[in-house]
Structure 1
């Protein structure tokens, strides 16, 4: 194998690894919420409140629950009496575009 072929193989390997790392970053950045779950239990919204702690609003049938989630522990924070309106999530393309535009400013 000559140097030109070896360089091409390494360049292709770097591109493939870059795509994998970039995809993992995007999934982590957007919370892994690229697909919606049509079942009776849905995550409506979530926010990080620490390095490993989150507050999550879930829809369980007709009821909404506000949960605190930490490693090894899930705790009910509040059971709202009136439903909390959550805006529909933006399409992935819009989220990606706004994230890229935010980085340019």
Structure 2
């Protein structure tokens, strides 16, 4: 006995709504996970009295990192071979926290202009 639902091959009209629903579900899952990471501070690198304030990638293997140790801030140059102290800052640098929603909307608006 052959069931009629299994005998028909899926058409474009029946598969598009399923694909769109799956895409919306995946985007919602990404948004929920990003919010959860932000709320639980899992995205921040910190360990006790030391935390990473900001990271600026220069190349694929080199970056400049601003760290805070206690009440001091230090600028480090990090490469694959070494970590160098570039400068110990006298004044604290405040870096505004970026919101995932704002970052995503800026990214999407840049994509629509091109």
TM-score normalized by the length of structure 1: 0.61
Q: Give the deviation of 1:37 after TM superposition.
A: 4.4
Give unmatched runs, 5+ long, in structure 1. Answer: 24-32
Runs (4+) of structure 1 exceeding 3 A deviation are 2-5
Are positions 1:43 and 2:38 aligned together?
Answer: no
Partners in 1 of 2:85 and 2:8 — Cα distance? 61
Q: Does 1:91 align with 2:99?
A: yes
Q: Post-superposition shift, 1:42?
A: 1.6
The Cα RMSD (Å) is: 3.2
Q: Look up the match of 2:86.
A: 77
2:36 is the alignment partner of 1:57: no
* TM-score of the pair, normalised by structure 2: 0.57
